[in-house]
Amino acid sequence: MAKNKFNQNWVHDHINDPYVKLAQKEGYRSRAVYKLKEIDETEKLIKSGQVIVDLGATPGGWSQYARHKLSGKEGGGINGEIYALDLLPMEPIADVDFIQGDFREEEVLAQLESKLQGKKVDVVLSDMAPNLSGNSTVDAARVEYIIELAVEFAKAHLKPNGALLVKCFHGPSYNTLVTLFKNEFKTVANKKPKASKDKSAEIFLLGKGLKNPH
């Protein structure tokens, strides 16, 4: 019964969520787009002409936003490149090159690398989150692992002045992840956009400028 009540509350909150309404009105696939938009507007992350990689892209809101920022005229292609990856399928987005597969597997990374053809990346975005079990120690380890992989990817593929933005959570591994970012990036900031729910432990870490570019 309690679970049913929880579901009803969630549905009620979701339907009345201003960001859900805005996403529907503006044609975005998820409310998460407004988290990226707010961070981008203050940090000027996404600019015309860039190469962008979106990890954990499905349903595609962040890729849609990046495409919007890189596009010239509607339907006239984009100035730049966007590569999106996810384990789950994603409805196609014009001018976004999507790879379905597990980011943790060498074969999937090799696919992405072959598409990049040696080009370095300006911005790596990761809204990835593992399936959470409710066990804080296990979940912290899963979050940490995914973010470590995103950092490894960024170290190997970012331009020296590139940026990595990842979704993180306030929890047992948070300080470890901040330290990891500080070891690898010249500037590190944490971001809690307005579209992140107040109750949520979600926070975003932004690293800019590699300390030891490859």
Residues 6+ positions from 179 with CB-CB distance below 8 Å: none
Structure tokens at 14: 């979701």
Q: How many CB atoms lie within 10 A of CB 76?
A: 9
Q: Known binder of ligand: residue 60? A: yes
- Please give the Cα distance from 207 to 178 (Å, whole number): 10
Alpha-carbon torsion angle 83, 87, 91, 92, nearest 10? 20
Task: Using the structure block, give the residue that is written with the tokens 């929880």.
Answer: 6
**Secondary structure of residue 50 in the 3-state scheme:** coil
Catalytic residue list: 167
102 is an annotated ligand-binding site residue: yes
The residue written with tokens 């490149």 in the block is 81
Query: Known binder of ligand: residue 62?
Result: yes
Cα–Cα dist 51/37, whole Å: 18
Whether 171 and 140 have beta carbons less than 8 Å apart is answered as yes
Can you count the helices (H) and strands (E) in the chain? 7, 7
Running DSSP on this structure, what letter comes out for residue 167? E
Binding-site annotation, residues for S-adenosyl-L-methionine:
60, 62, 86, 102, 127
